[in-house]
């Protein structure tokens, strides 16, 4: 049996490379910063390969649906839950809190 | 007024203890943006990271841009001994110029009249970010990651880069622990140029290998 | 780390293995043969690191160069085009 995993795409057919780019949004830079700060010598919570593994395990649908830093925060958050950095309950409560604050400030979901 | 306000920095107006995020307020938020904000706040509240560390880390990445790599390339063009050191160890060579590129090893691959190098990461999106900043979107795209190893000349042509058939196109798939940058060829007609002027010819894409250094005007 | 098993210039074959977990050997290069370009050092095993272990002992990491025409039988470019991939020692086998 030859398993080819979804992220392992070298050599597959794909469309033209569109030369798109964007200035990284503040939230993307902050995800980047969280991951880097949590993978230092004195905070060895996330290794590059754990993060990669977590991204690969998001599965084909989610992998393509999310953008780059959405995949990063998904993987990093799962790993921090696994390692007990915070609990599911804490995360859920905090996310509800953040969303209600943002809504109160006039932001809307995309 | 935060000392970090100003062009090139993220504005963080004071809305209580939490940063104001204009990108979210302008274009709407997603579940993962909420997750990211929640995770950051939890880590800060638990004392695992600090808001200052977050700010410093974002500023560090903001300071990493193609111009830094361009300075390094220009030095290599102007100074053969430096070029040799750069080809052995980019991190060490950059450190000579007071550029701290962190602990992930970066290697340079040199374009010559016989070899044209191009960098890709087929498995994720590895990139020499501590030297030249975060990658462009296309570098992370399925099209670039899939096709560059199989039909590099077609991909290069999509960037307007034609490589002669008698030049070897060498694709580097940065799959593991090292990151790669291309040392492009110095354009002809620049013999008496100084480093600052040379650096202006070094564009980001030439350090990925999908383009050549710019021709002098 | 153990002493590197291969040297620059050695011909090696990449294992034609297809395990289900996190690996850093691209699918397209498995089963192909190339030449060791250089030894890039020794690094903890990513297949262990990915699951929260320390990845020790470190594994020799090789820069292996492949002819594109060996990788893709229908490669459309010139015969001297190549691809270089960083591969960990357990994925490499000597060729006879």
Q: Could you read off the pLDDT of B38-82 as tens digits, one per residue? A: 999 999 999 999 999 999 999 999 999 999 999 999 999 999 999
Average pLDDT, chain B: 91
Q: How far is A12 from chain B (nearest CA, A)?
A: 5
Domain ranges for chain C, please list them: 11-94
Q: Rounded CA gap, B116 and B153, in Å?
A: 10
**C63-75 average pLDDT score:** 98
Q: What is the CATH number of the domain that holds B144?
A: 3.90.330.10
Query: What is the pLDDT, as a whole number, of residue B13?
Result: 40
Q: Rounded CA gap, B124 and B142, in Å?
A: 10
**B100-123 average pLDDT score:** 97
Q: What percent of chain B has pLDDT over 90?
A: 87
Is residue B125 annotated as part of the catalytic site, yes or no? yes
Q: Are the C-beta atoms of residues B168 and B114 closer than 8 Å to each other?
A: yes
Residue B209 gets the label, from left (phi > 0), alpha (psi -120 to 50) or beta, of: left
Q: Point out the residue among B23, B35, B158 whose CB comes nearest to the CB of A77.
A: B35
Q: B48 with B125, same domain? A: no
Is residue B217 in a domain? no
Q: How far is C12 from chain A (nearest CA, A)?
A: 20
Split at pLDDT 50, 70, 90, the class of B21 is low
Query: What is the pLDDT, as a whole number, of residue B25?
Result: 56
For residue B55, the enclosing domain spans: 22-62
Domains of chain A: 26-104 (1.10.472.20)
Split at pLDDT 50, 70, 90, the class of C1 is low
Query: What is the pLDDT, as a whole number, of residue A8?
Result: 96
Where among B62, B82, B115 does a domain terminate? Answer: B62
Q: Rounded CA gap, B211 and B202, in Å?
A: 10
B84-123 CB burial, b ≥16 within 10 A, e <16 = ebbeeebbebbeeeebebeeebbbbbebeeebbbbbbbbb
Counting Cβ atoms within 10 Å, is residue B33 exposed (0-12), middle (13-18) or buried (19+)?
A: buried
Whether B174 shows a pLDDT value over 90: the answer reads yes
The residue from B2, B124, B141, B146 that is catalytic is B124
Q: B70 with B172, same domain? A: yes
Split at pLDDT 50, 70, 90, the class of A3 is confident
Q: B37 with B84, same domain? A: no
Split at pLDDT 50, 70, 90, the class of B3 is very low
Q: Could you read off the pLDDT of C15-56 as tens digits, one per residue? A: 999 999 999 999 999 999 999 999 999 999 999 999 999 999
CA angle B110, B113, B115 (to 5 degrees): 50
What is the tally of structural domains in chain B? Answer: 2
Two tokens, residue B161 = 């880069």
Is residue B11 in a domain? no
What is the residue-wise DSSP string for A32-62?
HHHHHHTEETTEET--HHHHHHHHHTT-HHH
Contact B173 C83 (CB under 8 A): yes
Q: Partners of B175 in the beta sheet?
A: none
Q: What percent of chain B has pLDDT over 70?
A: 88
Q: Point out the residue among A12, A29, A68 whose CB comes nearest to the CB of B146.
A: A12
Query: What is the pLDDT, as a whole number, of residue C2?
Result: 61
CATH code for C11-94? 2.30.30.50
Two tokens, residue A67 = 């953008």
**B26-45 average pLDDT score:** 94
ipTM of the complex: 0.97
Two tokens, residue B190 = 């620049």
Neighbours of C82 (CB within 10 A): 22
Query: What is the pLDDT, as a whole number, of residue C48?
Result: 98
Q: B36 with B90, same domain? A: no
DSSP state of B29: B
Where among B62, B81, B112 does a domain terminate? Answer: B62
Q: Point out the residue among B42, B58, B136 whose CB comes nearest to the CB of A90.
A: B42
Query: What is the pLDDT, as a whole number, of residue B24?
Result: 58
Whether B2 shows a pLDDT value over 50: the answer reads no
Whether B133 shows a pLDDT value over 60: the answer reads yes
Whether B197 shows a pLDDT value over 80: the answer reads yes
Query: What is the pLDDT, as a whole number, of residue B7?
Result: 33
Q: B130 with B47, same domain? A: no
Is residue B83 in a domain? yes
Q: What percent of chain A has pLDDT over 70?
A: 99
Query: What is the pLDDT, as a whole number, of residue B9?
Result: 36
Query: What is the pLDDT, as a whole number, of residue B217?
Result: 86
Q: Which residues of B touch A26 (CB under 8 A)?
A: 10, 19, 21-23, 58
Contact C19 A8 (CB under 8 A): no
**B76-93 average pLDDT score:** 98
Split at pLDDT 50, 70, 90, the class of B17 is very low
Is residue B3 in a domain? no
Considering only residues 75 to 94 of chain A, which have any Cβ-Cβ distance to chain C shorter than 8 Å? 83
Q: How far is A36 from chain C (nearest CA, A)?
A: 16
Is residue B7 in a domain? no
Q: What percent of chain A has pLDDT over 90?
A: 91
């Amino acid at each position: 049996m030859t398993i080819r995993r979804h992220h392992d795409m070298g050599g597959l057919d794909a469309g033209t490379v569109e030369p798109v780019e964007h200035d990284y949004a503040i939230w993307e830079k902050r995800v980047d910063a969280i991951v880097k700060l949590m993978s230092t010598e004195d905070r060895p919570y996330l290794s590059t390969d754990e993060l990669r593994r977590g991204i690969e395990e998001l599965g084909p649908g989610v992998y393509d649906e999310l953008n780059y830093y959405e995949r990063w925060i998904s993987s990093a958050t799962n790993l921090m839950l696994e390692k007990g950095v915070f609990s599911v309950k804490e995360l859920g409560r905090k996310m509800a809190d953040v969303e209600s604050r943002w809504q109160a400030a006039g932001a809307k979901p995309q | 007024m935060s000392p970090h306000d100003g062009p090139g920095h993220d504005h963080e107006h004071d809305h209580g203890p939490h940063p104001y995020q204009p990108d979210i307020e302008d274009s709407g938020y997603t579940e993962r943006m909420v997750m990211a904000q929640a995770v950051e706040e939890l880590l800060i509240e638990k004392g695992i990271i600090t808001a200052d560390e977050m700010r410093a880390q974002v500023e560090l990445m903001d300071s990493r841009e193609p111009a830094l790599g361009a300075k390094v390339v220009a030095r290599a063009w102007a100074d053969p001994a430096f070029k040799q050191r750069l080809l052995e160890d980019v991190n060490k060579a950059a450190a000579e110029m007071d550029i701290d590129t962190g602990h992930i090893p970066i290697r340079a691959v040199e374009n010559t009249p016989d070899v044209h190098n191009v960098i890709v990461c087929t498995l994720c999106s590895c990139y020499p970010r501590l030297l030249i900043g975060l990658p462009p979107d296309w570098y992370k795209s399925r099209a670039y990651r899939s096709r560059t190893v199989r039909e590099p000349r077609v991909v290069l042509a999509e960037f307007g880069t034609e490589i002669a058939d008698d030049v070897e196109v060498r694709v580097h798939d940065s799959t593991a622990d090292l990151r790669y940058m291309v040392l492009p060829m110095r354009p002809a007609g620049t013999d008496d140029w100084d480093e600052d002027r040379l650096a202006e010819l070094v564009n980001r894409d030439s350090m990925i290998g999908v383009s050549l250094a710019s021709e002098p005007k | 780390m153990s002493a590197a098993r291969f040297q620059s210039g050695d011909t090696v074959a990449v294992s034609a293995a297809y395990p289900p977990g996190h690996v850093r050997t691209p699918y397209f290069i498995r089963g192909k043969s190339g030449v060791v370009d250089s030894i890039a050092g020794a690094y903890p095993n990513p297949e262990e690191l990915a699951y929260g272990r320390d990845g020790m002992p470190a594994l020799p990491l090789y820069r292996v160069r492949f002819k594109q025409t060996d990788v893709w039988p229908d490669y459309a470019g010139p015969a001297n085009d190549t691809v270089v991939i960083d591969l960990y020692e357990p994925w490499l086998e000597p060729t006879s």
